[in-house]
Amino acid sequence: MGSPESEERRNSDEGPQHEVELSGFWMGIYPISQAEWNLTMSRTTQMVTAKDATPVTLVSWKDTHDFLERLDPPDGFLFSLPTEAEWEYACRAGTATPFSLGETIDTDQSNYCGSFVYGDGIKGVYRRGTTPPGTFPANGFGLFDMHGNVWEWCQDFYQEDIYGNEKRINPTGPQKGRERVVRGGSWSNSPTNARSAMRGHHLEMTARNNIGFRIIVRPVIRDLPEE
């Protein structure tokens, strides 16, 4: 977890790079869509348009928990936002490069502001908005839009130096704070912000047109002992 000191445009809060151990979980292959949000929050059957299939935005961290509270998980399981560690593990899909797709990225692989480049990349398209699920290739775990499209809320409070002060097994971030973590970059950001290790953060009530979320389901288990 985190980035090596040699990674281009690395931020200080991405280190020290370290290992974590996670219990099993399942993650949604796409961010939650506008249609899923509407159907869940209104509990009505509605027609779904192409626009409704794009990721829901303008939802705060608090809003995501209103959504989660309306879901009915199977017995023995719970729905939640991913922890920051779970999100990065899922994004990397076994890779150690800045992106799960390699050392750089292009706008045929992800929805970000193509006016900017990362590493040896080339300029591309600036779409000025979100794109429907499945527009770009999935990563090695079969997850779409882990780089770009919308920032995704994580469960954790943000703390700049948490990597040097956190447990190794199932880390959950600091116990308190002013802001929550967002990950993945968005359609309006440079590819630098879409790196696997990039850590964004906003106040819980922040709601923007480039921030959404995806959810995970995990078994209800007891906390594992710390090493």
Count CA within 13 A, CB hemisphere, residue 45: 0
Amino acid 44: pLDDT: 53
Task: Give yes or no for residue 48 having a pLDDT over 70.
Answer: no
The dihedrals phi and psi of 173, each to the nearest 5 degrees, come to: 80, 180
Distance CA 93, CA 17 (A): 17
Instruction: Give the pLDDT confidence score for residue 151 in this predicted structure.
Output: 98
Alpha carbon of 181 to those of 2, 133, 139, 199: distances in Å? 14, 23, 22, 7
Residue 137 has φ and ψ, to the nearest 5°, of -60, 150
The per-residue pLDDT for range 157-170, each reduced to its tens digit, is 999 999 988 899 99
Alpha-carbon span 84 to 52, nearest angstrom: 27
| Mean pLDDT of all residues in 173-188 | 97
Tens digit of each residue's pLDDT (9 = 90 or more) over 96-140: 999 999 999 999 999 999 999 999 999 999 999 999 999 999 999
Three-class SS of residue 135?
A: coil
Confidence of residue 141 (pLDDT cuts 50, 70, 90): very high
Given this structure, which CATH class describes domain 27-219?
alpha beta
Specify the residue for token string 């040699």: 6
Q: Counting Cβ atoms within 10 Å, is residue 7 exposed (0-12), middle (13-18) or buried (19+)?
A: buried
- The yes-or-no verdict on residue 63 having pLDDT over 70 is yes
pTM (two decimals): 0.93
Q: Which distant-in-sequence residues (6+ apart) come within 8 Å of 72 by Cβ?
A: none
The domain segmentation of the chain, as residue ranges, is: 27-219
Kindly report the CA angle at 137 between 65 and 4, in degrees rounded to 5?
Answer: 75
